[in-house]
Structure 1
Amino acid sequence: MAVSTPGRRAPVRADLEQVFRAAYARVVAVAARVLGSRDEAEDVAQEVFLSFGRSGVPAGEAPAWLSVAAAHTALNHLRSGRRRASRERVAGVADPVSPDVADAVVTLDERRRVRAALARLPRRQALALVLRHSGLSYAEVAAALGLSPGSVGTVVRRAESALRKELSHHASPE
């Protein structure tokens, strides 16, 4: 049953609050795994739950749907952020992040490299990696991506291999 709100285009699900309370932490964790920022992950979670609230996804399918939606949305943010950063470099806009400790710079650079490589992977591989490394079980990843549970390990291993190739292909010359 949906609750109609004046001024809204689509009705909001009656079970939204219950699903939100049960799944919010996982949605943020999946998005944060991709983005590396809890603040950005919470923005993604808001988008995901808004979409879910207007959807007809059965409540029993909500956890898998929300995890995939979080990964998709976070990857889209990652890709659009990379394009924006490229435009800013061309325009001469300085990067506002300037850590003052060498270790922080190295860690930040490595995370950026991994996220950029992840964004270059085929979407299915990127999703499999993000979901599995966000703590979802093989069965949950299988349900979320429409795979057989037995094939999840293979998909994840291939995705990890593709990620390693991307990282070595785009390694900075030193």
Structure 2
Amino acid sequence: MSSSGRGSLRADLERIFRANYPRVVAVAARVLGSRDEAEDVAQEVFLSFARSAVPTGEAAGWLSVAAAHTALNHLRSGRRRATREEAAGKTAEVCPDVADTVVTLDERRRVRAALARLPRRQAVALVLRHSGLSYAEVAAALDMSTGSVGTTVRRAESALRKELNRHASSD
């Protein structure tokens, strides 16, 4: 990486990137359902981190939360919806069991849309926990007590179910 004309990059950037890139991509992929889109989100997140003054010891949590927020922003904006739907249509055409593929893709789309309607803190806690972070890691990342993580995640799961049921009955 070159710092020509842009000021200096963080001295710890390469080490933190190497240590955290897989998790950042995994968190974003959990939200977006696409490794390619998750890698785009990871680029955005690490660019923001490179310009930040986040202490090195807080980098992992900050990056996980930033990945979830950035992925949710992409999901909410619908920037890539047409591309995903077009790709899904092409996949369905070549798959031997079209009905199963279409149902699975529709279910994933519905879950992601419902996730995007949740309160941000709940959505981020849910994504982080289901991306493999421990209660302690989620608590540190979201600056909350470890004891409240379980409650927040359970409320998020309940809200997600309600969103899915509400929109299923309106279809």
| TM-based fold match above 0.5 | yes
CA displacement at 1:173 relative to structure 2? 5.7
Tell me the matched-pair count.
163
Aligned with residue 160 of structure 1, among 157, 160, 166: 157
> Structure 1 residue 118 and structure 2 residue 115: aligned?
yes
Question: What letter matches 1:33 in structure 2?
Answer: R
C-alpha separation between the residues in 1 aligned to 2:41 and 2:141?
18
Q: Which residue of 2 aligns with 1:28?
A: 25
Q: Once the two structures are superposed, what CA deviation does each residue of 1:76-121 show, in whole Å capped at 9, x if it has no partner?
A: 0001116x75xx7xxxx9x423113111110000000000000000
> Structure 1 residue 60 and structure 2 residue 63: aligned?
no
CA displacement at 1:159 relative to structure 2? 0.4
CA displacement at 1:172 relative to structure 2? 5.4
Unaligned 5+ runs, structure 1: none
Q: Which residue of 2 aligns with 1:43?
A: 40
Aligned with residue 128 of structure 2, among 106, 109, 131: 131
Contact 1:12–1:53 (CA<8 Å) still a contact in 2? yes
Where do 4+ consecutive residues of structure 1 move more than 3 Å? Answer: none
C-alpha separation between the residues in 1 aligned to 2:76 and 2:126?
16
Q: TM-score, normalised by structure 2?
A: 0.89
C-alpha separation between the residues in 2 aligned to 1:161 and 1:42?
29
C-alpha separation between the residues in 2 aligned to 1:49 and 1:169?
36
C-alpha separation between the residues in 1 aligned to 2:73 and 2:62?
16
Change (3 A) 1:4 1:45: closer
Between Structure 1 and Structure 2, which shows a larger proportion of helix residues?
A: 2
Contact 1:11–1:54 (CA<8 Å) still a contact in 2? no
Q: Once the two structures are superposed, what CA deviation does each residue of 1:35-94 show, in whole Å capped at 9, x if it has no partner?
A: 000000000000000111111111110000000000000000001116x75xx7xxxx9x
Q: CA RMSD in A?
A: 2.0
Aligned with residue 104 of structure 1, among 87, 101, 104: 101
C-alpha separation between the residues in 2 aligned to 1:141 and 1:38?
22
